[in-house]
Amino acid sequence: MIKPGFISKKALILGCILCLQGLLFSCKNDIQQLKATLDKSIVNVERAEDVTIIYSKDGATKATLFTSHFTHIQNVDPSYIEMKKGLKVEFYNDSLQVQSTLTAKYGKYFEQNGNVLVRDSVVVTNLKKEQLNTEELVWNEKLQKFYTEKFVKITTPTQIIYGDGLESNQNFSEYKIINIKGMIGVTANSLPL
C-alpha cells in the first residue's frame, strides 16, 4: 500500500530517465545551425588583466612587458595581442639589470614577426639619462631594435635633438636619427630630467 504523496524509488528513477530522454531527443538543431549561431569573435579572443610577459632569447631574459589590459585576437591573420590601456617594457642586459624602459598608451604585438607597435605618448629612457619622445615606434623583438619614421625628440644631458625617423638598439644606447631637423644645446641643470 502506497501512502498519498509518497513516490517509490523505482518510479522516481523511471521518471528521471524519461525526462532525460525527452531532453536529449527533443533538440532539433543540427551542429551546422549551432555553429552558425555562435559569435566567433568571442570564441577567438582571450582577455586578461594585470599581465606580465617575459621575453627571452637563447635562455636569457631580455625584456619584461607589463600591461593592465590584454586582448589576444586569434581569428585574424596575422593574430595579435592588443594593449589598449597602455604598457611598460623594461629591457635588460645579461646581468638582468634594467638598461632602458619604454612606456606608451597603446600597444599591439604581432606574434608571427615579433614586432610590437606602440603609439601615443611613447617614451624611451636609458641609463645615460637620454629620453626619446615620439608618437609611434616599432620594437622588433627578434632583432632587438626600435624603428620609427615619425617625428622624434631626443633629450640628452647636453642637448635636445629633433628629427624624423629613428633606428636604435633596444637599450637605446646607440641610435641614429634619419632626418635631423635641429639641435639645441642646453646646460645640464636646465633640463627637467
Domain membership of residue 15 (yes or no) is no
CA distance 4 to 57: 76
For the record, the C-alpha cell of 5 comes out as: 504523496
Look up the domain containing 149 and give its range: 42-190
Domain membership of residue 37 (yes or no) is no
Provide the number of structural domains found in the chain. Answer: 1
Q: Identify the CATH number of the domain in which residue 49 sits.
A: 2.60.450.10
CA distance 101 to 88: 7
Domain membership of residue 30 (yes or no) is no
Domain membership of residue 84 (yes or no) is yes
CA distance 143 to 181: 27
Per-residue pLDDT of the chain (193 residues; tens, 9 = 90+): 445 555 566 666 766 676 666 655 555 556 666 556 555 555 578 888 998 988 888 888 888 999 999 898 888 888 899 999 999 999 999 899 999 999 999 999 998 888 899 999 999 999 999 999 999 999 888 888 999 999 999 999 999 999 999 999 988 999 999 999 887 776 656 555 5
Q: At residue 172, what is the residue type?
A: F
For the record, the C-alpha cell of 193 comes out as: 630630467
Domain membership of residue 36 (yes or no) is no
Q: Return all residues near 88 (Cβ < 8 A) that are at least 6 apart.
A: 65, 66, 67, 101, 102, 103
